[in-house]
Amino acid sequence: MNVVGLRSPQQLSFTTSRSECPYCLKTLQWKDIIPILSFTLLKGKCRYCGVRISSLYPIMEIITGMLFVYCYIIIGIQFELFLALALVSMFVIVLVSDITYMIIPNKVLLFFLPIFVVFRIIDPLTPWWDTITGGVAGILIPMSIIIVSKGGMGGGDMKLFGLIGIVLGFKKLCFCFFLSCVIGAIIGIFLIALKLGRRNQPIPFAPYIIAASLITYFYGDSLILWYSNFYHIPFN
Ligand SMILES: [Zn+2]
């Protein structure tokens, strides 16, 4: 996931070319690229030149592993598990790419689009057309924000919401959108308060979308119920 997220925005191949140290350019061996283990055994340094390896690698490897296990714990062995693992895989790739380059590669989204569509045909939401309304809302809601705020949100974020809508359906997509703005606003205020960020400075939004999506995917039903009861909104 790391490799795809780091290479696809630079138009580099991740299927044919071998991994190399970005500093000494030495081609890495199998024992240098075992997730988490290699980083730990090499004490975070390149085996050949000793330069520090970015901690992004072990962090993303741990997050990926934990999310995969979490999907299994929550869903169990069901068809939906494959969809959850595909969703997490896409999120890790997008996360790496967005925090590194502030780009969500179209290639990655286009790869996952048919996968989610096929999964939702085999294992549809109720009603089945919820996938379509969710996907359309996922495009239209961010698009309206982009138009009104003249680019306050990226086109990549909009396409990502479209894919999330296909998986979640209309109601959960709306909740996920709302939740991502809440998380983004809270963290944004903290960053400004701690003088780590400035107003009007662009920040990668995908981390908040991904956090909100995973929360909604796993706990959306009970959260929406709680929220609508709290405000006496008659959902459904
Ligand atoms: Zn090196």
| pLDDT exceeds cutoff 60 at 78 | yes
Mean pLDDT of 85-98: 96
Residue 236 pLDDT: 54
Ligand 1 mean position to 48 CA, how many Å?
Answer: 5
Q: What is the mean pLDDT of residues 107-122?
A: 96
What is the spatial distance between Cα 70 and Cα 219, in angstroms, rounded to a whole number?
13
* Model confidence pLDDT, tens digit, residues 216-233: 999 999 999 998 888 777
Q: How confident is the model at residue 235 (pLDDT cuts 50, 70, 90)?
A: low
Q: What's the average model confidence in pLDDT over 159-180?
A: 97
d(CA 16, ligand 1 centre) in Å: 20
Strand partners, 20: 27
Tell me the average pLDDT across 159-173.
Answer: 97
As a whole number, mean pLDDT of residues 179-197 equals 89
pLDDT at 202: 77
Distance of CA 21 from the midpoint of ligand 1 (Å): 5
Cα 154 from Cα 94, distance rounded (Å): 13
- Ligand 1 centre from 17 Cα, in Å? 17
Which segments of 104-205 does DSSP mark as H helices, in order? 106-122, 130-149, 155-168, 170-193
Distance 105 CA to ligand 1 centre (A): 27
Report how far ligand 1's centroid is from the alpha carbon of 136 (Å).
46
Let me know: does 145 contact 101? Beta carbons within 8 Å.
no
How far apart are the CA of 95 and the centre of ligand 1, in A?
25
Q: Which pLDDT tens digit goes with each residue over 31-44?
A: 999 999 999 999 99
With a cut of 90, say whether residue 74 has pLDDT above it: yes
Residue 81: pLDDT band with limits 50, 70, 90: very high
- For residue 87, count CB atoms less than 10 angstroms from its CB and return exposed for 0-12, middle for 13-18, buried for 19 or more: buried
**Listed residue (36, 69, 31, 68) closest to 55, CA to CA:** 36
Tell me the CA–centroid distance for residue 32 and ligand 1, in Å: 11
Tell me the CA–centroid distance for residue 18 and ligand 1, in Å. Answer: 14
Reply yes or no: is the peptide bond before residue 127 cis, omega within 30 of 0. yes
Residue 120 has pLDDT above 80, yes or no: yes
pLDDT for res 22: 87
Nearest to 16 by CA among 24, 5, 7: 7
Amino acid at 50: G
145 CA distance to ligand 1 centroid (A)?
Answer: 44
Tokens found for residue 91:
């999120």
pLDDT value at position 164? 98
CA–centroid distance, 1 to ligand 1, in Å, is: 21
Report the chain's mean pLDDT, rounded to a whole number: 92
